[in-house]
Amino acid sequence: MKPETADCLAKAMECLDGAKRIMTLPLPQVAAREAYLAAYHVAEGYIFEQTGRIVKTHRGLRTAFSRLARNEPRIAPEYLTFLATAYELKSIADYSVGPTARPITADDTTRAIETAERFIDTITQLLPPGLTPPRGPKAQPDLRRLGLGVVSGDLARGYE
């Protein structure tokens, strides 16, 4: 497994852990966003492992992952749908306002977390052995290896 892939998996697991922790609070919209980000990062890692490239947009990620998943029968179609559905939850959480905004329910979030966890497990099994990403909230990817530059402020402390 490439180091950048391991970094993406570590970030996916960090987001999944965050979603589970946040789900214990009355903040389903935040937990749903974290579940989407867990799926995003595991797909990002899979794409990088297969192509050596990092996608730059959410749409680009869905397109690239879909293209690769077509050739891998062990990737269930539900994960392709989930990336789009979970992105919709993220968009609702981030941008919906006013009395007509669709609320994100605890059931929406529970389903998103469960699917993200299965997605991470599936992709992890498909990746070559090698670097094993750390699990838990202390798992931090090396953003410089992903071409994201130096991180400033509190986040930079682990990267200096």
Q: Read off the pLDDT of residues 89-98 as tens digits, 9 standing for 90 and up.
A: 999 999 998 8
Both tokens of 156, joined, read 């930079």
Does 148 have pLDDT greater than 90?
A: no
Q: Phi/psi zone of residue 95: left (φ > 0), alpha (ψ -120 to 50 degrees), beta?
A: alpha
CA angle 23–156–1, rounded 5-degree value: 75
CATH of the domain at 42: 1.20.120.330
Q: Average model confidence (pLDDT) for the chain?
A: 84
Report which of 35, 40, 119 is spatially closest to residue 78, judged by C-alpha positions: 119
Instruction: Report how many domains make up the chain.
Output: 1
The answer to whether residue 19 scores a pLDDT higher than 70 is yes
- pLDDT of 28 over the 80 cut: yes
Residue 130 confidence class, pLDDT cut points 50, 70, 90: low
Are the C-beta atoms of residues 70 and 59 closer than 8 Å to each other?
no
Please give the residue range of the domain that contains residue 79: 3-159
Give pLDDT, residue 137: 45
Percent of the chain residues topping a pLDDT of 90: 69
Average pLDDT in the 37-58 region? 94
- What predicted TM-score, i.e. pTM, was given to this entire model? 0.79
Q: Which of 39-43, 69-73, 140-144 has the highest mean pLDDT?
A: 39-43
Average pLDDT for 61-65: 95
